[in-house]
Amino acid sequence: MKNKSSQNNEENDGSGCLKAIPMRFVFVFMGFIGFNLVYSFKVVLSVAIVAMVRGTNTSSDKSHECRVSEFSNTTSTTGEFDWTDSQKASLLGAFFYGYVLTQLPGGQLAEKFGAKWIFGSSVLITAILSLISPVAAKWSYSAYFAVRVGQGLAEGVVFPVMNALLAKWLPKMERSLGSTIVFTGAQIGTVITMPLAGVMCDGTFLGGWPSIFYLLGVVGCVWFIFWALIVYESPDRHPYISTKELNFIRKGQGAEVVKERAPTPWKKIWTSVPMWALIITHFGQNWGFLTVLTLLPTYFEKILLLDIQKNGLYSSLPWLLCALMSWVVGTISDKVRAKGRIPITVIRKFCNGVGFFGPTICIIAVVFTKCNENASIGLFILAMGLNGFIFSGFMCTHVDMAPDYAGTLMGITNSLGNIPGFLAPIVANAFTTNNNTLQGWSYVFYLTAAIYAFTSLVYIIFASAQNQKWTESPDNDYIGGDNLKERSNGLHHTGAKDNNSFVTD
C-alpha cells in the first residue's frame, strides 16, 4: 500500500493520461484556436461585404482596363444593401474604433485580475455579436456599424491579455516559437475563414452571406466552454501539471516573474526611447498588414475582377504562407538564442527587418504587374509570407523588454498601432474614389510600402530587446534582464498558492 507521501508525489506529477501531456502545450493549443476565432470574426466582413452590397458590375464594362475578353471573370452584383463606397470603407474600419479603446484597459485588467476569463469572455462576446450580425445589418446600417464597434471593443483586450498569459506559461527559450504558434492562429483563422466565407456567401444555405456569421458564432461559443474547463491562469494554479514541468517553466523564466508586481512605472514607459520605437513599429506593421487584410478582397473584386469564391480563396493564401513562415522562423530563432552567440536584440532586429522590407519590395512590385492576376497574387502571398518574420521580431519585444508589464506594453502599442485599422480604409477610399483604377490603387500601395520601410528603420535604430531598467521596483525586489541577482530563497512566481511555492537552482 502506498504511503501518503508517494500519493502526493503522484498527484504533483499529474493525473492519469494528463501527465503525458505538457500543460503549457495545451495552453498554447487553446490560445492558437482562440486567435483563430478572433481573426475570423475580424476578417469575415472583408469577403462577405462583396456579397452583401450591390454594385456596378465592373466585369461587364468593356472599357475596364483589366478586362481582356468577353469571358472575363464576373462579379456578383446581387447584394441586398445599397451602401456607398464611403459607407463600406467606414464599416470595414468600424471594428477598429472599438478595438483601440480597450487595448490598455485589457492589459491592466489582465495583470490585476487574471487573464484567463478576460480572454475567454472576449471571444464569447464577439461570438454572440456575430450571431446577431445578420439581423443588425438588415435592420439598419447604423445597427450593424454599432455591432462591429462592439466586436472591436470586446476583442481589443486579446493581444495584451495573451501576452500576460504567455509571460506566465512559457520559459524564455520557448517564447519565440510558443508566442508565434498562438499569434499565428490569427493567420490560420484568416486562411480558413476567407475561402469558407466565399463559398458560403455564394450559396443559399441560411440566406447565403448570413450563414458564415452564424457558423463562426456557434464555434466561438463552443470554444469558450473548453477554454473555461481546461485552461488555467498560470502553471501554479493548474491541478494536473507535473512537478517536472512546473520546475522547468520556473527555471526557464529565471527571476523574471515576481510574486507581487510593483506599480506600473508610467512615466518611465512613456519616456522610453525603445518603447516609442516599438509603438511606431507596431503602427507601421498594422498599416501594411491591415491594408492587405481588409482591402485585398476589394482590390481583387474591383481591379482583377475575381468572383467571390476565387476572391475568398486567393485572399486567404498570403496568410497561409505567413503562418508557415512564422513557425519555421520561430523555431530557428529559439535555437539560435539558446546557443547564446547572438544577442537577442540582434535576432529581433534581423527578423523584423526581413518582415518589413520584404513586403515593402513585394508591394511596390505589385504596381508594375498591372493586370497580371497570377503575378499580383503571387507577390501578395510572398509579401505576407516574409511578413511572418515579425512574430520573432517586434511581436516578442514586449515580453523581452518588460515581462512583468507585457500586457500593459502590448496594450499601449496595440492601441496606437491599430489606428490604421480605421484610417487605412478611409485613406484608400480617398485615393480610389472616382479613380478605382490601377493608378488609384498604386497610390495605396506606394504609401503602404513607404510606411513599412520607414517604421522598419525606426525599429532597427532605436528598439531594444533587453530587459529595461524601469522594470525594476524601487526596493529592488525585481531584478530583470540577463544580469540577474536572484533572491537567495528562490525564484518567486506569479499566482503562488503558498509561501513554499518556489524552486531553487
Question: How far are the Cα atoms of 192, 416, 432 from residue 444, in angstroms, in the given order?
Answer: 26, 21, 8
Q: Please check whether residue 245 is in contact with residue 23, taking contact to mean a CB–CB distance below 8 angstroms.
A: yes
With vertex at residue 406, the alpha carbon angle to CA 278 and CA 95, rounded to the nearest 5 degrees, is: 70
With vertex at residue 65, the alpha carbon angle to CA 63 and CA 68, rounded to the nearest 5 degrees, is: 85
Quick one: pLDDT at residue 1?
45
CB-based contacts of 475, cutoff 8 Å, min separation 6: none
Residue 165: is it exposed, middle or buried by C-beta count within 10 angstroms (0-12/13-18/19+)?
buried
CA 201 to centroid of chain Cα atoms: 25
Could you tell me the pTM of the whole model? 0.74
Quick one: pLDDT at residue 502?
25
A 10 A CB-CB count for 138 gives 13
Strand ranges in 79-215 using DSSP code E only, listed in sequence order: none
Q: Please check whether residue 83 is in contact with residue 398, taking contact to mean a CB–CB distance below 8 angstroms.
A: no
Q: Please check whether residue 434 is in contact with residue 302, taking contact to mean a CB–CB distance below 8 angstroms.
A: no
* 3-state secondary structure (DSSP) of residue 503: strand
Distance CA(363)–CA(353), nearest Å, equals 15
Question: Which amino acid is present at 321?
Answer: L
For residue 284, report the phi and psi dihedrals to the nearest 5 degrees. Answer: -65, -40
Residue 260: is it exposed, middle or buried by C-beta count within 10 angstroms (0-12/13-18/19+)?
exposed
Distance CA(355)–CA(384), nearest Å, equals 8
Partners of 81 in the beta sheet? 53
Distance CA(386)–CA(318), nearest Å, equals 10
Domain boundaries defined on the chain? 21-471
A 10 A CB-CB count for 366 gives 23
Quick one: pLDDT at residue 216?
95
Quick one: pLDDT at residue 114?
80
Q: Please check whether residue 490 is in contact with residue 504, taking contact to mean a CB–CB distance below 8 angstroms.
A: yes
Q: Which CATH superfamily is domain 21-471 in?
A: MFS general substrate transporter like domains (1.20.1250.20)
Q: Which three cell numbers stand for residue 288?
A: 501594411
Quick one: pLDDT at residue 64?
62
CA dihedral (48, 51, 52, 56) positive or negative: positive
- The stretches of 2-22 forming alpha helices (DSSP H) are 4-12
CB-based contacts of 434, cutoff 8 Å, min separation 6: none
Quick one: pLDDT at residue 23?
82
Quick one: pLDDT at residue 112?
73
Quick one: pLDDT at residue 396?
85
Q: Please check whether residue 381 is in contact with residue 76, taking contact to mean a CB–CB distance below 8 angstroms.
A: no
Question: How far are the Cα atoms of 58, 67, 70, 341, 367 from residue 63, in angstroms, in the given order?
Answer: 9, 7, 12, 60, 20
Q: What is the DSSP letter of 468?
A: P
Question: Which amino acid is present at 404?
Answer: D
pLDDT tens for each residue of the chain, 505 residues long = 444 444 444 344 544 445 568 888 889 999 999 999 999 999 899 888 888 887 655 444 544 677 654 444 444 456 788 888 888 888 988 998 999 888 778 766 776 778 899 999 999 999 999 999 999 999 999 999 999 999 999 998 888 788 778 888 888 778 767 887 888 788 889 889 988 988 888 877 887 889 999 999 999 999 999 999 988 887 888 887 888 878 888 877 765 544 455 678 888 999 999 999 999 999 999 999 989 888 888 888 888 888 888 888 898 899 889 888 888 888 888 888 888 888 989 999 999 999 999 999 999 999 999 889 999 999 999 999 999 999 889 988 888 888 778 777 877 887 888 899 889 988 998 898 877 788 899 999 999 999 999 999 999 999 988 888 877 655 433 333 333 333 333 333 333 333 322 222 3
Q: Please check whether residue 280 is in contact with residue 461, taking contact to mean a CB–CB distance below 8 angstroms.
A: no
Partners of 141 in the beta sheet? none
Which residue reads 480604409 in cell numbers? Answer: 425
Q: CA-based Rg of the chain, rounded to a whole angstrom?
A: 24
For 483: left if phi > 0, alpha if psi spans -120 to 50, otherwise beta; the answer is beta
